[in-house]
A and B are shown apart, each in its own frame.
Chain A
Amino acid sequence: MRRPLIGLTSYAQHVLFGRNEMMAGMLPMTYVKAVHATGGRAVLITPDDPGTDVLESLDGIVFTGGGDVDPANYGAEPHPETEVDPVRDAAEIMLMRAALEMDLPVLGVCRGHQVMAVATGGSLHQHLPDLINHDRHRAHAGTDPLAAGADDYGRHGVVTAEGSRARQLFGRQTTVNSFHHQAVADPGECVATGWCPDDRVVEILEHPGRTFALGVQWHPERTADLRVFAALNQAALVGREAATV
C-alpha cells in the first residue's frame, strides 16, 4: 500500500555538525522517524518560501517544534524571554491557514500547536512562569529533558475533554514530556481539549470544523508513544483515498 506523504515544517538554522558550521535547512530525525514508524513518508518543507502550492502534493502536514511565534502576530509586544524567527512564522502561519482551508490533515507539535492557535486568531502566554509561578514545563537551559534516560523533570499528566478526539486517542488521562515556556491563551478557532491538571495549561487543541486538526503542546516524537502520528497518517490515508475516488 502506498504510504501517505507527510510534510514536516523545517527550520533554517545555524548549526554545527562535525567540523562544519552552516546555515542549514534541517529537522531533528525524531520527527522523520515518528512519521516513518507509523506508516507515512516524510518530506521536509523549507521555511523560506512564501507559497502554499506544495500542500496540493501532500496527504498531511506536521507543524514542528522550535522557537517562539512572534507576538506581533497576535497583537502583543514581545516579552524579554521571547525569541522569534519572523521568516518561519510567516511561512508557517500561511501554510497553517491554507492547510486548514483545504481540510488537509494537520498535526501541530509544541510550537506547531501554538501556531494552530495564532493562525486562527488566538494568542499565547509569552512566559509561563509569569502566569503559573513555576517553570516545570521547561527544564533548565542547556539540558535535554527529552533525552532517553532524562528524569521526570518536566513530565506531567494531561486530562482530556469528554467527547473529544483527544479522549479517543489518549483516554481520560495520559502522561507527557514537556519543553516549552509559552502556552496557548486564546485558542482562536480551535478548541482546547486537553490540559495539565496541575495548572490548567492548555496541552491539546482541536479544530472542530476539520477532519483531523490536532495540536499537542508536548513532544510525542521524542517518546515511544506515537499515537498522534499514527492518527495523522490514518487521516491522511483516508483523505487521499477519498480524493482519488
Chain B
Amino acid sequence: MRPIIGITTYVMPASWGVWRDLPTALVPQDYAAAVTLAGGRAVLLPPDDLDTDVLRVLDGLLFSGGPDISPELYGEQPGPHTVTHPERDAAELALLQAALDRDLPVLGVCRGMQLLVAAHGGTLHQHLPEVLGHERHRVAPAVYSEHEAVFTPGSRIAGLMGEDVTINCFHHQGVADPGKLTVTGRAEDGLPEAVEDPDRRFLLGVQWHPEVSRDLRLFGALVAAAARS
C-alpha cells in the first residue's frame, strides 16, 4: 500500500461549468499530481477543527499554499496588505500540532512554511516590499519569479536540492524570525526560503512552489519519509 499523504485545502467561492461562486474545498491539482508522481496516495483534507482523528490513516502531511495566516498567531495585528482565512488557520494548526506530537513527516509549502514557523514561535514580515524595498518575490499576479537560493551545507534541503538551486517564488509575506526552526536556505536578498527541524524525522518548509514542477526531490523525500512511518 502506498503511503497516504494528506494535503490541506482552501475553502473558496469557486465557479465552473454552470456553477457560480459555490463554496468549494479546493487546492491546485499540482500538489496531488506531485504526490502521485512521487509514489504517494494523495487525499485532500477539507478544513475541520472538530478533531485530528484523520491523522490515524495518514503517513505524511503537506501544508499547501494559500492566503496569509492570521498575524494573531505570532502576536501581531493584521497590516493593510494581510488577507487571512482564520477557519483554515484553526484547522491546520490543530492538524500540525497533532502531527508534531506523532513525529509524522511534514512538508510546508509557502503559506504552509509560514504556518510551521508560527507554530514554532516564529514571526512573519506581513508585506515584504515594505521590508525589502522590492517586489521580486511576487512580481505580478500568477507569475512565479526565479531566484538562486543558497542552502546551508549539510542541511536536509541542501542534500535534496543538489546542484540545481533555482527556486520559483510567489509570496508577499516572509519569515522574520524562524522561532525554534532552523533557516537552511535563503534567497539572494537574505530572505529565508527553507526552514527545518534537524531533530525530527522529516519537518521541512519551503517558501517557494516545488509542486508546480512536480519536484521529485522534495515530494520524493516526503513520500519516502512517510513510507517509513
Knowing A14-B16, A29-B11, A54-B4, the reply to whether A46 touches B44 (Cβ < 8 A) is yes
Nearest chain B CB to A11's CB is how many angstroms away? 9
Flag whether A108 is at the interface (Cβ < 8 A).
Answer: no
Flag whether B48 is at the interface (Cβ < 8 A).
Answer: yes
Interface residues of A in 13-48 (CB under 8 A from B): 13-30, 32, 36, 41-46, 48
- Complex Cα distance A25/B42, Å? 11
Q: Which residues of A contact B36 (CB under 8 A)?
A: 46, 48-49
- Complex Cα distance A221/B121, Å? 40
Q: Which residues of A contact B4 (CB under 8 A)?
A: 54, 57
- Complex Cα distance A48/B133, Å? 42
Knowing A26-B24, A54-B41, the reply to whether A17 touches B13 (Cβ < 8 A) is yes
- Complex Cα distance A46/B35, Å? 11
Name the segment of A139-147, A199-207, A228-236 touching the other chain.
Answer: A139-147
Nearest chain A CB to B11's CB is how many angstroms away? 6
- Complex Cα distance A3/B52, Å? 10
Interface string of B195-224 (1 = CB under 8 A from A): 000000000000000000000000000000
Flag whether A217 is at the interface (Cβ < 8 A).
Answer: no
**Range of interface residues on B (Cβ < 8 Å):** 35 or more
**Range of interface residues on A (Cβ < 8 Å):** 35 or more
Knowing A2-B53, A32-B46, A49-B36, the reply to whether A144 touches B19 (Cβ < 8 A) is yes
Interface centre among A3, A24, A36 (most CB of B within 10 A): A24
Flag whether A5 is at the interface (Cβ < 8 A).
Answer: yes
Nearest chain B CB to A47's CB is how many angstroms away? 9
Nearest chain B CB to A227's CB is how many angstroms away? 21
Q: Which residues of B contact A43 (CB under 8 A)?
A: 6, 43-46, 54
Across the interface, do B29 and A41 meet the contact criterion of CB distance under 8 Å?
Answer: no
Q: Which residues of A contact B15 (CB under 8 A)?
A: 15-17
Q: Which A residues form the contact surface with B (CB < 8 A)?
A: 2-3, 5, 7, 10, 12-30, 32, 36, 41-46, 48-49, 51, 53-54, 56-58, 67, 141-144
- Could you list some 7 contacts between A and B, CB below 8 A? A5-B57, A14-B16, A27-B26, A42-B48, A46-B42, A48-B33, A144-B20
Those 8 A-B pairs whose CB atoms lie nearest each other, nearest first: A26-B26, A44-B44, A57-B57, A24-B26, A17-B12, A46-B32, A17-B14, A29-B23
